[in-house]
Amino acid sequence: MNLHSISLSFLFAIFAVLTSTHITDSNPSFLKYLIHFSLTFFSSSPITATVIVYSSGGHHHQYNRHNNEGEIVTPCEGFSPDFPKDTNTTSYLCVDPNGCCNFTSVQAAVDAVPDFSQNRTIIWINTGVYYEKVTVPRTKTNVTFQGQGFTSTAIAWNDTANSSHGTSFSGSVQVYSTNFIAKNITFMNVAPIPNPGDIGGQAVALRISGDQAAFWGCGFFGAQDTLHDDKGRHYFRDCYIQGSIDFIYGNGKSFYQVLFPLSIVAMATKNKKKWNNPNKLVCFL
């Protein structure tokens, strides 16, 4: 899938979420058409399809289905997450939107992590879009978010600088702890894309303020101020970062080995990309 298709898919995903959340009396036939349109024209982008299904209300209920023999099959039947047993150095928590794990929300799993633990806690997050604002406080050290692919697992919220009383607090996910790791997951801010000159429209997808954080195979989607690389030392590898104005900013001392950041205002190229922080070292793959 080329960069133009990814950009269109992301914009359409935002439109779908906003349709369901801001138009409360949406015509069901219109939403069905929206889903059909998305699956037909954007089927190459699994995250778009996931967001569309989420937006239409599929996340609110557990639906049973029938197998070929007509027997009722629950959403959790046959569910067996593939992760090891807890050890002396590592423990696992499981998040699933259908209730097939320990938790149905990412924040609940974060809250269950022991304070200032010296061991690594891996929060295994199943496929789905988790529409919630998540904070990893300073006390929750050595936490890993393990998604199932950045096109399959996403955390999304829609705060802006206006709604959260400051750009720094608008992040859909905000991490203040040390030694945080994220793998194969997307962070999204689905607030409306601000018009040029708008005040308070900044909308952060992720704010990373803890030291020694690492991100592998992650997606960061938003418009203005998508990724707030606030402070600390951070490493980004094989990540996809998309936004418009200042969409990577902050005072972090970070090393980026990314697919390359993409501007949704004007398609950026390696030679035209500008960075506002001399502490950042960028390597395009």
Question: Which comes out higher in pLDDT, residue 146 or 66?
Answer: 146
Q: Report the share of the chain in percent with pLDDT over 90.
A: 47
Is there a catalytic annotation at residue 246?
yes
Is there a catalytic annotation at residue 96?
no
Average pLDDT score over residue span 81-100: 90
Q: What is the pLDDT of residue 97?
A: 93
Domain interval for residue 216: 90-284
pLDDT in tens, 37-49: 443 433 343 334 3
Confidence of residue 134 (pLDDT cuts 50, 70, 90): very high
Is the pLDDT at 202 greater than 70, yes or no? yes
| CATH number of the domain within which 171 lies | 2.160.20.10
Give the active site residue among 198, 211, 238, 246: 246
| Same-domain check for residues 31 and 103 | no
Average pLDDT score over residue span 219-246: 91
pTM beyond 0.75: no
| Same-domain check for residues 143 and 259 | yes
pLDDT in tens, 47-76: 343 343 333 333 334 445 555 566 666 778
| Same-domain check for residues 111 and 17 | no
Q: Is residue 67 part of a domain?
A: no
| Same-domain check for residues 143 and 270 | yes
pLDDT in tens, 208-217: 999 999 999 9
How many structural domains are present in the chain?
Answer: 2
Three-state SS letters, the chain: CCHHHHHHHHHHHHHHHHHHHHCCCCCHHHHHHHHHHHHHHCCCCHHHHHHHHHHHHHCCCCCCEECCCCCEECCCCCCCCCCCCCCCCEEEEEECCCCCCCECCHHHHHHCCCCCCCCEEEEEECCEEEECCEEECCCCCCEEEECCCCCCEEEEECCCHHHHCCHHHCCCEEECCCCCEEECCEEEECCCCCCCCCCCCCCCCEEECCCCEEEECCEEECCCCCEEECCCEEEEECCEEEECCCCEECCCEEEEEECCCEECCCCCCCCCCCCCCCCCEEEEC
| Same-domain check for residues 41 and 100 | no
Question: Which comes out higher in pLDDT, residue 19 or 172?
Answer: 172
| Same-domain check for residues 246 and 136 | yes
| Same-domain check for residues 164 and 218 | yes
Is the pLDDT at 117 greater than 70, yes or no? yes
Q: Is residue 81 part of a domain?
A: no
Is the pLDDT at 223 greater than 60, yes or no? yes
Is the pLDDT at 3 greater than 70, yes or no? no
Confidence of residue 83 (pLDDT cuts 50, 70, 90): confident
**Picking from 84-93, 145-154, 194-203, 274-283, which range would have the lowest pLDDT averaged per residue?**
274-283
Give the active site residue among 225, 229, 230, 238: 225
Confidence of residue 164 (pLDDT cuts 50, 70, 90): confident
Is the pLDDT at 102 greater than 70, yes or no? yes
| Same-domain check for residues 145 and 251 | yes
Q: Is residue 114 part of a domain?
A: yes
Average pLDDT score over residue span 237-263: 84
Q: Is residue 26 part of a domain?
A: yes
| Same-domain check for residues 111 and 202 | yes
Is the pLDDT at 196 greater than 90, yes or no? no
Q: Is residue 66 part of a domain?
A: no
| Same-domain check for residues 139 and 17 | no
